């Protein structure tokens, strides 16, 4: 019954936006973008942090009239920065954290824009990448690990900021192409072609790029760091083919195919491989 109600609701919203596109295109594009970019879940309360984050040192960092939250576990000179995905927060690393802590590494995790304890209502990769850059300058990580859209943001970050101190990067269930994400969104709401073009025009005006231009597959060509790209063939959130796209252009990366992990990618064997790749432990 919930699935039926959700289906009806999404189609009704799509019909409204499609109709609005003919009478008020600007309002329609703003509404479509807002629904695309505003997460519905993933917030945290400082007084009620998940258990996985309660032993971390926390610090709020202010950047460009915004702020984002960092979580810090002090260790040795190996610094690992964790980047979560859409509608999540730093606690998503709960199952990986014990493996990372055993290595003695210093671990840093951040909350994305509009997630966890970070500010804002809107999530976008460019702002998230700027958060990563500020965190990188402060904590000087050697390694990046990103899940889902956080993984795609890691690729974009390294493409844009060219961090020469970064040694290795791990992507878990990461999407490649913005156009694919937009296509899924369009199909969910049954948006018409006029609305799709209005939405792309909004991206051009706001970010100065077209859908086709924003692709981890394209950005991956500029990556010189070593990497692991792990993707599950049963992932129903981000298609397995998206991971293969990134692997096809990132020459220094090893692709790991998994089965039965879904989009979460939580797996002891996989985590052992990641640890061995990062620090040889």
Please write the tens of the pLDDT for every residue from 198-230.
Answer: 999 999 999 999 999 999 999 999 899 999 999
Architecture of domain 49-176+215-279: 3-Layer(aba) Sandwich (3.40)
Alpha helices in 54-144 (DSSP H): 97-102, 125-139
pLDDT of residue 281: 57
pLDDT of residue 2: 76
pLDDT of residue 80: 98
Query: Residue ranges of the domains in the chain?
Result: 1-37+178-214, 49-176+215-279
Locate the DSSP E strands across 94-250.
106-110, 143-147, 168-172, 226-232
pLDDT of residue 6: 85
8 Å CB contact between 248 and 221: no
pLDDT of residue 54: 97
pLDDT of residue 198: 98
pLDDT of residue 280: 85
Question: What stretches in the chain show pLDDT beneath 70?
Answer: 281
Rounded to whole angstroms, the Cα distance separating 52 from 89 reads 11
């Amino acid at each position: 019954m919930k699935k039926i109600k959700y289906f009806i609701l999404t189609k009704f919203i799509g019909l409204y936006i499609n109709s609005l596109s003919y009478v008020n295109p600007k309002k329609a594009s703003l509404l479509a973008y807002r629904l695309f970019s505003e997460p519905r879940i993933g917030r945290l309360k400082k007084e009620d942090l998940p258990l996985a984050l309660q032993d971390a040192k926390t610090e709020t960092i202010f950047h460009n009239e915004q702020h984002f939250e960092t979580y810090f576990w002090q260790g040795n000179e190996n610094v690992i920065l964790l980047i979560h995905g859409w509608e999540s927060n730093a606690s998503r690393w709960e199952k990986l954290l014990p493996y990372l802590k055993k290595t003695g590494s210093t671990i840093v995790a951040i909350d994305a824009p509009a997630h966890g304890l970070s500010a804002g209502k809107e999530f976008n990769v460019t702002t998230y990448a700027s958060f990563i850059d500020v965190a990188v300058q402060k904590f000087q990580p050697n390694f990046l690990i990103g899940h889902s859209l956080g993984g795609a943001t890691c690729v974009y970050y390294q493409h844009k900021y060219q961090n020469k101190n970064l040694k290795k990067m791990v992507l878990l269930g990461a999407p490649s192409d913005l156009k694919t994400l937009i296509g899924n969104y369009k199909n969910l709401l049954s948006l018409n072609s006029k609305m799709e073009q209005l939405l792309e025009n909004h991206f051009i005006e706001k970010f100065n790029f077209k859908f086709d231009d924003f692709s981890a597959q394209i950005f991956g060509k500029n990556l010189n760091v070593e990497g692991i790209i792990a993707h599950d063939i049963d992932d129903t959130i981000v298609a397995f083919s998206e991971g293969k796209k990134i692997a096809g252009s990132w020459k220094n990366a090893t692709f790991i195919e998994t089965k039965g992990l879904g989009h979460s990618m939580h797996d002891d064997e996989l985590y052992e491989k990641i640890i061995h790749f990062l620090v040889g432990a």
